[in-house]
Amino acid sequence: MSARAAVIVMLLVACVASAISVVHARQQSRRAFIELSKLESERDELNTEFGRLQLEQATWTDTNRLEQIARGQLGMVFPGPAETVVIRN
């Protein structure tokens, strides 16, 4: 085999190896993009759920609602002036 043929074979092998590397890199890129899309979707769902939970928490801790429960279910009332005691140091 001549030197010229050896160079052509080496260039052909290098070209095929380069092509395989490009295909492998693109496949990894596709997989990474799919994973990124899934994670972004999960993030969006978690943000939506977090917003719902914040709204629910605000509803449950509303002072008017707590006062209605205290009066209705527990029979609690605000103390009158005669029942109020001020303690000073």
- Does 89 map to a domain? no
Range of the domain at 68: 3-76
Torsion sign over Cα 13, 15, 17, 19 = negative
For residue 13, being part of any structural domain is answered with yes
Enumerate the H helices of 61-83 as residue ranges: 63-72
b/e map 60-84, b = 16+ CB within 10 Å = eeeeeeeeeeeeeeeeeeeeeeeee
How far, in whole angstroms, is CA 50 from its chain's centroid?
A: 9
Query: How many domains does the structure of the chain reveal?
Result: 1
* pLDDT, tens digit only, all 89 positions of the chain: 799 999 999 999 999 999 999 999 999 999 999 999 999 999 999 999 999 999 999 888 888 888 888 888 988 888 888 888 889 87
d(CA 89, CA 75): 32
- Cα separations (Å) of 7 from 3, 11, 12, 19, 47? 6, 6, 8, 18, 59
Q: Which residue has the tokens 């001549």?
A: 2
Residue 65 lies in a domain: yes
For residue 61, the model assigns a pLDDT of 84
pLDDT of residue 80: 87
Is residue 85 in some structural domain?
A: no
